[in-house]
């Protein structure tokens, strides 16, 4: 088994942070579903703004809310307005590596889904095609 990316929410904007909540990161349920991340699943939060990296677990925030809210100790490292990447991994058998494709969710500044892809390369191609069409 190899630990492989299975879901990623790319460049989400942190909407709030709650030091007094017990722990976790609350994520808009629509984004969780699109990335294939489930409630209580371990996730890594990579803060693009300040370089902080942490491991916690996901809990759903109301669907369509755009909420990204680190709770507990994580709220000391990740702040409202920060851009983050939220990733989850899964064990994939060596025999299945060639067909493995993660769920990549690209969002806008309000954490609305802009693109869905099964790999970073597919997402890059989709964005390039869209930008080419708008010229």
Residue matched to tokens 């309000």: 110
pLDDT of 23: 81
Q: Which sequence positions are flagged as catalytic? A: 24, 57
| Mean pLDDT (whole number) for 51-68 | 97
Q: What is the mean pLDDT of the chain?
A: 92
Tens of pLDDT, residue by residue over 76-124, are 999 999 999 999 999 999 999 999 999 999 999 999 999 887 666 666 6
Q: How many domains does the chain have?
A: 1
- Strands (DSSP E) along the chain, which ranges? 2-13, 25-28, 42-47, 53-61, 68-70, 83-92, 103-107, 113-117
CATH number at residue 108: 2.40.40.20
Tokens, residue 128: 């390039």
Q: Report CA Rg, the chain.
A: 15
Q: How many residues does the chain have?
A: 135
CA torsion through residues 45, 5, 28, 122, sign: positive
Domain that holds residue 103: 2-133
pTM assigned to the model: 0.87
- What average pLDDT does the segment 42-57 reach? 98
């Amino acid at each position: 088994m190899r630990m492989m990316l299975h879901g990623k929410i790319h460049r989400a904007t942190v909407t709030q942070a709650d030091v007094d909540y017990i722990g976790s990161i609350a994520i808009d349920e629509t984004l969780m579903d699109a990335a294939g991340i489930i409630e209580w699943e371990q996730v890594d939060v990579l803060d693009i703004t300040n370089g902080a990296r942490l491991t916690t677990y996901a809990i759903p925030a109301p669907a369509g809310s755009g909420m990204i809210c680190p709770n507990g100790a994580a709220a000391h490292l990740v702040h409202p307005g920060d851009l983050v990447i939220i990733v989850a991994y899964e064990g994939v058998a060596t025999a299945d590596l060639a067909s493995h494709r993660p769920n990549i969710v690209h969002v806008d500044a309000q954490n609305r889904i802009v693109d869905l892809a099964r790999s970073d390369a597919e997402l890059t191609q989709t964005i390039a095609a869209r930008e080419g069409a708008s010229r």
